[in-house]
Amino acid sequence: MRRLLVLASGRGSNFRALLEAAKHGVLRAEIVALGVSKRESGAVQIAEAHRLPILFTPTEDEILDFVKRERIDAVILAGYMRILTPKFIEALRDDQGISRIVNIHPSLLPSFPGMNAYAQAFDAGVRETGITVHLVEKEVDGGPILEQKTFRIDQMRSAEEVEARGLPIEHDLFPRTVDWFVNGEYRVEKRGGRPYVRPA
């Protein structure tokens, strides 16, 4: 079984979805621990309820030590509100040079990177937006895309409504994508000089 470290900062609904998926075999991996950048993160209570070890406000070096010591295969960012340094990203590559850090972003990247992506999409008046699961590279929200799922928002009346529609899609897409990625069920091709990672 692949061994995962999840990093979160907020309410933790994606962390919960990953734990549920691991319990039911949808995500064939073991979630070994949670790391949080904020002590008051909702994810902390979820980890406590599952009796999982928690790294509180770890530095990047502490995370890397943990990854080494606990033989972690991939680091999963589930609403982690910290920008990772190039050094950290370089330390977490596999033999092929593929990043071993996965992130979920609530827009159809490359549209609407950064904060409040649901609100950005709503305010822009786009007809549809989506969810992206991607690998982490130095460019924020810019690494190779693993999966995307779109949904229409043209009938919606608020950013909150967009988020309420998007979150269940996140909770479905994220664990399923992490599953094939961490189990190596993908092929790599070059597109535009960059790796392009698709399920095998």
- Taking contact as CB under 6 A, which single stretch among the options 26-34, 62-70, 101-109, 188-196 is the one that binds ligand GRF? 101-109
Catalytic residue among 24, 105, 134, 171: 105
Tell me the residue number closest to ligand GRF, measured at CB: 79
Q: Omega before 110 cis (within 30°)?
A: yes
Taking the C-alpha atoms of 33, 37, 42 and 48 in order, what is their torsion angle to the nearest 10 degrees? Answer: 30
- Taking contact as CB under 6 A, which single stretch among the options 7-15, 94-102, 139-147, 187-195 is the one that binds ligand GRF? 7-15
User: Taking CB under 6 A as the rule, which mask of x and - marks residues 10-39 in contact with ligand GRF?
Assistant: xxxxx-------------------------
In Å, the largest CA–CA distance within the chain is 50
At residue 5, φ and ψ (nearest 5 deg) are: -110, 125
User: Taking CB under 6 A as the rule, which mask of x and - marks residues 51-90 in contact with ligand GRF?
Assistant: ---------------------------xx-----------
Residue 170 binds ligand GRF (CB under 6 A): yes
61: Cα separation from own chain's centroid = 20
Q: For the purposes of burial, counting CB atoms within 10 Å of the CB of 107, is it exposed (0-12), middle (13-18) or buried (19 or more)?
A: buried
Q: Is 171 a catalytic residue?
A: no
Contacts of 86 (CB under 8 A, 6+ apart): 138
Residue 106 binds ligand GRF (CB under 6 A): yes
Number of residues interacting with ligand GRF: please give it, by CB under 6 A. 12
Question: Using CB under 6 A as the criterion, which residues of the chain lie in contact with ligand GRF when the complex forms?
Answer: 8, 10-14, 78-79, 104-106, 170
